[in-house]
Amino acid sequence: MARDAKAGRERRRGGSGVGRAMSAIALLPIASRVPDYARLAAALLRDDRIPAGRKALLAGAAGYLLLGRDLVPDRIPLLGALDDLIVVGLAVDLFIDGVPEGVVDEKLDELGLDRASFERDLAQLRRLTPSPVRRTTRRLAAALEMGGRTWRESGFGPWLRTRHKEDQFA
């Protein structure tokens, strides 16, 4: 009876950890398109219509990769690379969610990239990422955006810079 309940929970949650790890193998075709997606990310980062907070998500993911201090050490086969993939996938997913409507389509057309392949790859990344991680990350991104908006609207930043300059010359 308990075994049946556990199997039911695993099916509702999207399978076991082993199943999720096996689905990571399906990401290999995405690896061949990484250069194209890097060009897309660069084009989007240069676009002034993209909010700075969303651009910071990609910078944070790049920092995580370059820092070398992972949640799961890279020396652990498959799982070591999986946490890097999840972090990058989440950052890209949240970044794309923050891009104004139509801008991604515009950039895909400019670069000659296939929209259907892009959507499939993004969906694959979303399936690989555990839903509690996605939900928490989305809430964090929303909180950071709200904090940034509150900071800008408060006028505290310009006031603080003015105070700092006054203190320097006093």
Summarize pLDDT for 30-59 with one digit per residue, the tens: 777 878 888 888 899 899 998 888 888 888
Rounded-to-integer distance, Cα 88 and Cα 115, Å: 20
- What average pLDDT does this structure show over 69-85? 72
Predicted pLDDT of residue 10: 47
Residue 13 has pLDDT above 60, yes or no: no
Predicted pLDDT of residue 35: 85
- What average pLDDT does this structure show over 110-129? 85
Rounded-to-integer distance, Cα 74 and Cα 51, Å: 32
Angle at which helix 79-97 crosses helix 115-128, to 10 degrees, equals 120
Range from 11-20, 25-34, 44-53, 135-144 that averages highest in pLDDT: 44-53
Task: Give CA torsion, residues 154, 155, 160, 161, to 10 deg.
Answer: 150
| Pair 36, 112: CB distance under 8 Å | no
Choose the weakest-confidence range: 23-32, 35-44, 84-93, 117-126.
23-32
